[in-house]
Amino acid sequence: MSKILVLNAGSSSVKFSVFNWDDLALWAAGIVELNGSSGASRMRITWPPEQSREEDLPFRGYQESVVAAFANLEGFGCWRSPGEVRVVAHRLIHGGETLRKPVVIDQQVKHIVRQFTPLAPLHIPAGLEALAAAEQAFPDGLQTGMFDTAFFADIPPAAFLYPVPYEWYERWGVRRFGYHGTSHAYAMERAAEMLGRSAAELRMITCHLGQGSSATAILGGKAVTNTMGFTPLEGFMMGTRSGTIDPGLITYVQRRAGLSADQVDEILHRKSGLLGVSGVSGDFRQVEESAASGNGRAQLALEMHAYRVRAMLGSLAVTMGGVDVLVFTGGIGENAARLRQDVCRGLECLGLRLDATANSRAVPDCDIAEKDSPGRILLVKSREDLLLAREGKSLAMQHRHKATASP
């Protein structure tokens, strides 16, 4: 049976899903955690209904470890031979203003993606390494890509331009791009389905909360702005990323401490956010545990996190003249009931009233708003993988049709 393999590559892990070609039913899913510092990696895989297995892998470098993981997946029965994998669908972070639609990945696409490495240094190198691993392991499989920035193609200039010299945009492409578009696109689609309405008639905010987090205002079924900007550093306070700060702070610290641009970049991307404030970890769960045990800085980090999300959701609602539905998704958004409660505290003025009991017991996909709340609050399981698989299959069908039609 033919399969579609979906890859979502991060700096230290690769999430994967395996789908049946015919009906896009999920065959298996899991994650490869790559730990170069310890010299070992770990792979977790789950088959419906919730049968799981874990496997230790030697760390041989990012690409080689991912190839080794593919070999293990074959050994577990995810496919009988590499030729069974007809499509490998990749989540790609950045396509700029050029790549706005799902694509078959070729050398030109890789060249364009590589140009944006300075804007997403945690993601793009990892994505290209995972792509190289997939090309090596599945030489006959079609490699397809869907871009996180593509969902934001319709954001108007007044929203995507920064109030800096216009030449910066003309010369260097300095503008807001927006990220997590694949997750926001699925959340929009699923929320409309749950409400039995068209996305085109809703004012919607989708809030993706994970190690990286962002929210999107969606009006008429199209994104009108996203909290992330030129890079995935802007917006919410995140696990190790600062989120939005006063740009004057950067030049002040550089002068005061004699830091280079690279040093500041490292601090803002990897040593800030929950980790920087709490001093504990960039993992939301560990910060929660530390706060529960009485760590004041950990508690402060959680309060700051919720405050910043709440404030930015209010700003997004104003851009649309109100909000009909707020959607929580992403690993933290789906599992952190206390955070959802803290974020929604104060959003009653927007017609969003959270049902505390429903929220505390919630399992995606569900409605957690009070019954008489003017706006709905939904909890949606992130299924970027399904969207990627669907688009990958569509591209493969088009590709095959073109090849057959060629003289």
Catalytic residue IDs: 148
Distance CA 127, CA 124 (A): 5
Q: In what order do the strands lie in the sheet with 51-58?
A: 51-58, 40-47, 26-35, 13-20, 3-9, 85-92, 142-147, 103-104
Which positions ≥6 away from 105 have C-beta within 8 Å?
90, 131, 143, 144, 145
Measured from the Cβ of residue 18, the count of other Cβ atoms closer than 10 Å reads 22
CB under 8 Å to 155, separation ≥6 — which residues?
176, 178, 223, 224, 225, 226
Instruction: Classify strands 85-92 and 142-147 as parallel, antiparallel or unpaired.
Output: parallel
DSSP code string of 293-341: TT-HHHHHHHHHHHHHHHHHHHHHHHHHTS-SEEEEESHHHHH-HHHHH
Distance between CA atoms of residues 144 and 81, nearest Å: 20
Q: How far apart are CA 95 and CA 73, in angstroms?
A: 30
Tokens of 363: 């399992």
**How many angstroms separate the CA atoms of 298 and 274, rounded?**
8
11, 253, 255, 267 from 261: Cα distances, Å: 21, 11, 11, 10
